Amino acid sequence: MVSDILQNATNTLNYIQVLVSQTKDLQLQRKLSICAETYIPLVKTVLPQAIDSINQKKYGLAAYSMVYIGKEIDSCNKQFSSSPLGDRTSFLHKLLDIAAAILKQLISG
């Protein structure tokens, strides 16, 4: 499940990078660049660590990571009145919610 989240976040980061390179609007380009800078550590560090935590049965740490990732994605979206990432981040949030619910069940035993 978290591997699917990693794949989705990676695809979203790639999409953001394409939008940055294609836009002529400097303000939009700046906002998208900030989003890319938000997604990079999620993809390179936070999600791989969450996967490792699950493999080590450290479900609490993985659950915390899901919440953290959701907040970081929200911080990116809040820059826009109408986010060009809306559908992508909405789906990513759904995946995060499902993963968090599963992890909560694993924590409860």
pTM of the model: 0.91
Domains along the chain?
Answer: 2-108 (1.20.140.40)
By residue count, the chain amounts to 109
List helix spans (H) across the chain.
Answer: 2-22, 26-41, 47-55, 59-77, 86-108
For residue range 60-103, list pLDDT tens digits in order.
Answer: 999 999 999 999 999 999 999 888 998 899 999 999 999 999 99
Question: How confident is the model over 26-52, as pLDDT tens digits?
Answer: 999 999 999 999 999 999 999 999 999
